[in-house]
A and B are shown apart, each in its own frame.
Chain A
């Protein structure tokens, strides 16, 4: 299992060729109270950097981009009724979707956890 982060504050936790994607604790803090999330449906095929999900706070809407290319195998159904789950547990139960990764080599361009945590302290 490995954990990677993007410069747009998404994380992807990888086991085999399946990645679980969400937003970082830093991102949920910056967004504030989340009142709506829309996750992709299973079967949808995504390219790296595609708009995959939408998250809305009281103030503003933000797009969530796919960190890698692949096919969505599950969206987190719990977020429809309880979008605040993203605030409470952004890097755990507040995940957005699971994706079957087309090419795991794409993960090499992402930050590892230590690099990401270090980088956000500079923002």
Chain B
């Protein structure tokens, strides 16, 4: 990434993280907390209580303009016209060949769309949107906005005491609230597989908010290390690792994000290729992998069939704190992608037994409302 030689940006909570004992690392051009007390303790805390994540490095964008939903639909394959006010949708910014430039969350907020993109890709995304969206669509990059996530089975209980009514939100819905004295946009969403919320506030208000949240005995700050192991257990892909411009939504097994009307009508970047892949399958497919033994197998390891032919690559791997065994994600030739298929992995000259696993590894516990 070109950003490695550039100046490292600091988060609005930089001093707060250090004061809370964080070990800071460089990530997506920012100095960010990778861990506080330890990855496994933080991981387990999030699965059993409530973890506070600072994701202010992510890009928060708004799009205004006439028929903004249709305009965004030229670059994103989701059905945004169908999206109701205050609802979020997972989607992807595609290149003209259907390759994934980024994955994102798009929310209809009254007359505009609010879109959250990855930190490492946000500047490139902005360039793409500005160049490729129809004229008349106005993009605003909310540089002065911070973003926190509160995730875990006790997140709703904690946040309800600070922002009454928030526990009424269903999964993938959001609304405006006042929290710790500041206006905020809060959505019921996240990247851990747990119930939880994402809270967008102005940067000057974020320290008071973080203080109020960790003042609750159920809440601890959680670093990037546990964020990665939590999302991997939840089967959620990480852009730049499990997704990139060489992958498509169909290869990535994210075809749920291509709306039904969009499949019938097309009219989005890469539609010819993606509709063909939906019809007859892509050559490769993203899968989960259960790995035998205790040793983690990581990004870059080869995936082999039982005859030893290379059939794919691992794109993410770790030791699952919840399952107490190694798990991984990767791409394999589609005929070998069925759960239960026995394969081998090769890492640093060593072979590992593996089987294709259904995703997620750890069941999601989202707060889905009836009929939502």
Contact = CB atoms under 8 A, between A and B. Distances in A.
A58 B39 contact: yes
A61 interface: yes
B295 A58 contact: no
Nearest to A60: B298
B319 A56 contact: yes
Interface in B6-38: 34-35, 38
Given A32-B38, A32-B39, A35-B319, A56 B295 contact: yes
- Tell me which of B225, B229, B298, B319 has the highest count of chain A C-beta atoms within 10 A of its own C-beta: B319
Contact-residue bracket for chain B? 10 to 19
B290 interface: no
User: Main SS of the interface on chain B?
Assistant: mixed
B259 interface: no
Contacts of A36: 294-296, 319
Interface in A24-47: 32-33, 35-36, 38
B225 A59 contact: yes
Given A58-B225, A58-B229, A58-B321, A33 B38 contact: yes
Given A32-B35, A32-B39, A61 B298 contact: yes
Q: Which 9 residue pairs are nearest across A and B when measured between Cβ atoms?
A: A35-B319, A33-B40, A58-B39, A36-B295, A36-B294, A33-B39, A33-B38, A56-B296, A58-B319
B138 to A, nearest CB: 41
Contact of B318 (A32, A58, A80): A58
Nearest to B39: A58
Given A32-B38, A54-B295, A58-B229, 18 more contacts: A32-B35, A32-B39, A33-B38, A33-B40, A35-B294, A36-B295, A36-B296, A36-B319, A38-B295, A57-B39, A58-B40, A58-B225, A59-B34, A59-B39, A60-B298, A61-B296, A80-B294, A83-B294
Contacts of A57: 39
Contacts of B229: 58
Nearest to A58: B39
Interface string B37-48: 011110100000
A68 to B, nearest CB: 24
A59 B43 CA distance: 13
A32 B225 CA distance: 10
Contacts, number: 41
A50 B318 CA distance: 26
A54 B229 CA distance: 21
- Tell me which of A54, A56, A58 has the highest count of chain B C-beta atoms within 10 A of its own C-beta: A58
Contacts of A35: 40, 294, 296, 319
19 contacts: A32-B39, A32-B225, A33-B38, A33-B40, A33-B41, A35-B296, A36-B294, A38-B295, A54-B295, A56-B295, A56-B319, A57-B39, A58-B39, A58-B321, A59-B34, A59-B228, A60-B298, A61-B296, A80-B294
A113 B161 CA distance: 53
A56 B347 CA distance: 13
A54 B35 CA distance: 22
Contacts of B298: 60-61
A60 B228 CA distance: 12
A56 B229 CA distance: 14
B314 to A, nearest CB: 13
Interface in B273-323: 294-296, 298, 318-319, 321
Contacts of A59: 34, 39, 225, 228, 318
A50 to B, nearest CB: 15
A58 B319 CA distance: 6
A33 B223 CA distance: 13
B192 to A, nearest CB: 15
A45 B368 CA distance: 59
A89 B298 CA distance: 27
B211 to A, nearest CB: 26
Contacts of A83: 294
Interface string B206-217: 000000000000
- Tell me which of A32, A59, A60, A80 has the highest count of chain B C-beta atoms within 10 A of its own C-beta: A59
A83 B40 CA distance: 13
Contacts of B296: 35-36, 56, 58, 61
Interface in A52-87: 54, 56-61, 80, 83
